Structure 1
Amino acid sequence: MRPSLLALVLAALLAPLAPAAPPVLLPAASASVEDGPHVIWEGAQARVLRWRQGKVDVADLPPSGLLAVDGLPPLRLDPAPPAPEAAVFPAVRALAAVSDIHGKRDALVALLKAQGILDARGAWAFGAGHLVVAGDTVDYGDQVTEALWLLRSLAQQARAAGGAVHVLIGNHEFMDMRGDLRYVVPKYKALPLSIPYLTGPDTEFGRWFRSLPAMIRIGDTLFTHGGPSAAFAAAYPGVEAVNAQFRKELKEGPGPVTGRYGPQWYRGLVPGGSAKDATAAEVDAVLAAYGAARVVVGHTTLDRITAFHGGKVHVIDAGLKDGKPGELWLQIDGRRWRGTADGKRSPLDP
């Protein structure tokens, strides 16, 4: 089957910036598909792609490096690929976490506004607080691009206020980058460039993903997507050791971190989450391996944020991907809370 005219034109437009491996051309975007921006780099120069009504608009990134994104302040992009993100931080007074956004950008914004992380205009209002996104921003929903740019914008706004936004890679980001598109919605499959290409090492999203950790610790609280098994923790003790192995797997393919018992896929820390639940001793071994008093995980969807094992395991995937309002995990002045989309909070500590 011959490629469409749009695909041929797009390939020609991108030719000066094409990576060593050519992009995979998919059927032309339907007239109803709108997406972007997507940024493709070659050295210090970049092209910005937007799809509108089935047509692609291609423009150079301005010399200022400022990218216009609908509904957000201009984002400053750096021609240099980002260095690996830090992963160990001292305790902070105000800490929040959410997971498994899965392309539900509007629901995320509503939740963050309700809990005072964003103001009524959608701008950062958490001051010097830290927000953790514990993986799986992609797949299932049709606002993936919008959610990713929102997190990038909030990270810039938070830094300016003395705070931080920490985004972790979940199993779904890893799957998309590797070409496993089982959970990608039709909107993104209809784009003329494939998801693996749009998250490749020469794109802004791809470069960003490759700088993100699989695990971080803030004070004595560990954050990761699924939660490591005791066997994994024994083999890879220390947060930095896990992230170093994870960066290797991002380049070379699946391994222990992205395997069945690694911190992206394992569900055994959640009672009933797997065929064999972790024992109390195994939970303690995991926490000891990473110098933590508790671990906060997503990946396993529950009706509400729930603490298990005497408050040592907190599960924060509260169903955003399923169209629910979701919930926000909070730690304020050493006390932990579940925050709901109606603005209420209830205590999580035993």
Structure 2
Amino acid sequence: FCGQVSNAVSSFVDSFVDFIVGGQILSKHAQSSANSFHPAAGAGGEARNHGGDSGMGIVTRIPAVERLVAIGDIHGDLAKTRESLRIAGVVDEDDRWIGGKTVVVQVGDVLDRGGQELKVLYLLEKLKGEAQRHGGDLHIMNGNHEVMNIEGDFRYATKEALDEFSAWAQWYRRGQALKERCHGLGRQPDVFKNVRKSIPDGVRARYAALRPGGPISSRFLAHHPTILIVGSTVFAHGGILPSHLDYGLEKINAEVRDWIQGRKGRQAPGYLRGKDAVVWARQYSIPVESLCDCRLLDEVLTGITGASRMVVGHTIQAPFGINSACRNQVFRVDVGMSSGCANTAPEVLEIRHDTVVRVLS
């Protein structure tokens, strides 16, 4: 019996684990990334997702849209995530997409400082599918905290977050064990392969899930852009510098995807590391406007065809909230909303018809 309905059994198990861990049932497309995890020893001990689609495209540029919304750093706060989405007018009280053709861009740093990171990732992934079915979209970007966690730097992970990953690991392994009982599915990959047993459970689970090629990194983070251009608006977590332009924005997105999927070793590419990294740069986000490098920003925007503004996160703007600098050439949207940061009231940035910009709160 199991041999005849193995795919149905696998899908049911994945949906069950998704609901227990993330509180959501995701689409079959989203589930397929989890099913393709096949770890193997690699340089630096990363897992390699050989079953994934190496050609999975990362969109770098999309045309202007009627309504565009930017949301800043979330840092594991599910309640503030929901509040932000409701301020944006794209979800109802039951977390269903009502934004129509609105395109939402969350600028990265979903991970760290909060205790509900997985639930946030699952919610955003669920809403992305709903948005696309209604002609809209939801793009979640990679920030410096995603990069840190993929590299195994958990210094900002909370106890609650480690507990959440421990629970994920328990249910994930139970799901794998159920699949192994079906003759048509065969032996399932060991999520903890090459992960030392001496590591505390929460840290061990987090490392296994988020390392390059890990089930959570491959399933969620690998298809998130690091750079995104929507019409005339350029998005990056930290900021784009001339060196990033010279290297190639599409190339950066493609290489980051490959690294997260376990195809490029354990360590992040150079443009993701250090103070001038695309996810670490603060040249445009220092709250004191006089300290922003407007000349550098203008040079970068001039070098991107059709670009007129940049939207960045990364640097908390409290107590100012979302604000602009350099004659509205940059908007800074990290308001420190997470209870693990400044615990401020959420705000979102709205851009209509690629020209009219306002803050919603």
Shorter-chain TM-score tier? 0.7 to 0.9
Residues 1:281 and 2:295 are matched in the alignment: yes
Task: Looking at secondary structure, tell me which structure has more strand per residue.
Answer: 1
**Aligned pair partner of 1:198 in 209, 227, 230:** 209
Question: In the superposition, relative to structure 1, how do residues 311 and 335 fare at CA in structure 2: closer, same or farther (>3 Å)?
Answer: same
Equivalent residues of 1:137, 1:148 under 8 A apart: yes
Q: How far apart in 1 are the matches of 2:277 and 2:288?
A: 14
Equivalent residues of 2:317, 2:336 under 8 A apart: yes
Q: Bigger CA drift: 204-213 or 136-145?
A: 204-213
- SS in structure 1 opposite 2:75? coil
Equivalent residues of 1:69, 1:149 under 8 A apart: no
Instruction: Give unmatched runs, 5+ long, in structure 2.
Output: 1-5, 37-51, 167-200
Give 1:235 deviation, angstroms.
3.0
Q: How far apart in 2 are the matches of 1:179 and 1:64?
A: 28
Residue in 2 that maps onto 1:62: 11
Q: How does 1:271-310 map to 2 (within 5 A)?
A: 271=286, 277-291=291-305, 292-303=307-318, 304-310=321-327
Give the TM-score normalised by structure 2. 0.71
**Aligned pair partner of 2:81 in 89, 94, 108:** 108
Equivalent residues of 2:57, 2:254 under 8 A apart: no
Task: Looking at secondary structure, tell me which structure has more helix per residue.
Answer: 2
Between the aligned residues of both structures, percent identity stands at: 25
Question: In the superposition, relative to structure 1, how do residues 218 and 179 fare at CA in structure 2: closer, same or farther (>3 Å)?
Answer: same
Residues 1:256 and 2:276 are matched in the alignment: no
Question: In the superposition, relative to structure 1, how do residues 69 and 248 fare at CA in structure 2: closer, same or farther (>3 Å)?
Answer: closer
| Residues matched between the structures, number | 281
Question: In the superposition, relative to structure 1, how do residues 271 and 102 fare at CA in structure 2: closer, same or farther (>3 Å)?
Answer: closer
Q: Bigger CA drift: 111-120 or 139-148?
A: 111-120
Q: How far apart in 1 are the matches of 2:26 and 2:259?
A: 33
Equivalent residues of 2:151, 2:268 under 8 A apart: no
Which residue identity is paired with 1:325?
A
Equivalent residues of 1:306, 1:315 under 8 A apart: yes
Q: How far apart in 1 are the matches of 2:26 and 2:255?
A: 34
Give 1:289 deviation, angstroms.
2.8
Residues 1:337 and 2:352 are matched in the alignment: no
Q: How does 1:211-222 map to 2 (within 5 A)?
A: 211-222=223-234
Question: In the superposition, relative to structure 1, how do residues 102 and 219 fare at CA in structure 2: closer, same or farther (>3 Å)?
Answer: same
Which residue identity is paired with 1:285?
E
Residues 1:243 and 2:257 are matched in the alignment: no
Q: How far apart in 1 are the matches of 2:88 and 2:295?
A: 35
Question: In the superposition, relative to structure 1, how do residues 311 and 195 fare at CA in structure 2: closer, same or farther (>3 Å)?
Answer: same
Which residue identity is paired with 2:76?
G
Taking CA–CA contacts closer than 8 Å with sequence separation of 6 or more, which of the two structures ends up with the larger relative contact order? 2
**Aligned pair partner of 1:166 in 139, 142, 148:** 139
Q: How far apart in 2 are the matches of 1:91 and 1:198?
A: 35
Residues 1:319 and 2:330 are matched in the alignment: no
1:270-303 C-alpha deviation (Å, 9 max, x unpaired)? 24579x9453321111112333111100000002
Residues 1:224 and 2:236 are matched in the alignment: yes
Residue in 2 that maps onto 1:267: 282
Which residue identity is paired with 1:125?
I
**Aligned pair partner of 2:158 in 178, 181, 185:** 185
Question: In the superposition, relative to structure 1, how do residues 194 and 285 fare at CA in structure 2: closer, same or farther (>3 Å)?
Answer: same
Question: In the superposition, relative to structure 1, how do residues 288 and 247 fare at CA in structure 2: closer, same or farther (>3 Å)?
Answer: farther
Which residue identity is paired with 2:218?
G
Equivalent residues of 1:267, 1:300 under 8 A apart: yes
Residue in 1 that maps onto 2:180: none
Pairwise CA RMSD: 2.6
Instruction: Give unmatched runs, 5+ long, in structure 1.
Output: 1-43, 47-59, 341-350
- SS in structure 1 opposite 2:327? helix
Equivalent residues of 1:233, 1:289 under 8 A apart: no
